[in-house]
Copies of this chain bind each other. A is one copy, B any other.
């Protein structure tokens, strides 16, 4: 015959186990939630060169098409990619003006990292891309904005270059933040890159 006390002890054990793994906020459910949350990609876009910014957007748009969350954190030379077209330098002193001049342009102003020295390069690449039906940087950026890629501008680098939200950036840039925001996104990301 089964002892009542022994049975009650077993009941308590089962109840303890249920607390650990059963429904309502248990660890196992947490693990399950972790597994089921969307995959995510965080890319620091440090470079402003056409041939580096382009793969950043190709990876970003590819990842969005696969339902991943994507953060593109633009800093340093990458910031020029987010600027308004035909942007004119507005710096308060000669240094700022020179920097703005070098940083101006938006995606249309981006140059190749290598081949420019031969006087060829970007025109050639974009023509070949067109011939092969591959979207250019401006189209890739447009796609990224439409598809909900989280495009962020680094406020620290903006400070260095004397850039202002309202003067310099495309209206489509919604997020201005520092390295702490980047880090919080990146520690929860499955893919982290520095381009």
Contact = CB atoms under 8 A, between A and B. Distances in A.
The oligomer's copy count stands at: 3
Given A27-B28, A128-B95, A183 B66 contact: yes
Size class of the contact patch on chain A: 35 or more
A97 to B, nearest CB: 11
A46 interface: yes
Give the secondary structure class of A's interface: helix
Nearest to A13: B14
Contacts of A35: 30
26 contacts: A2-B7, A6-B7, A10-B10, A10-B11, A17-B22, A21-B21, A21-B28, A27-B32, A28-B28, A31-B31, A43-B194, A44-B193, A55-B75, A62-B179, A62-B180, A62-B183, A66-B184, A68-B187, A125-B160, A128-B161, A132-B160, A134-B159, A192-B192, A192-B193, A194-B194, A194-B195
A108 interface: no
A173 interface: no
Contacts of A46: 52, 55, 195
B20 A28 contact: yes
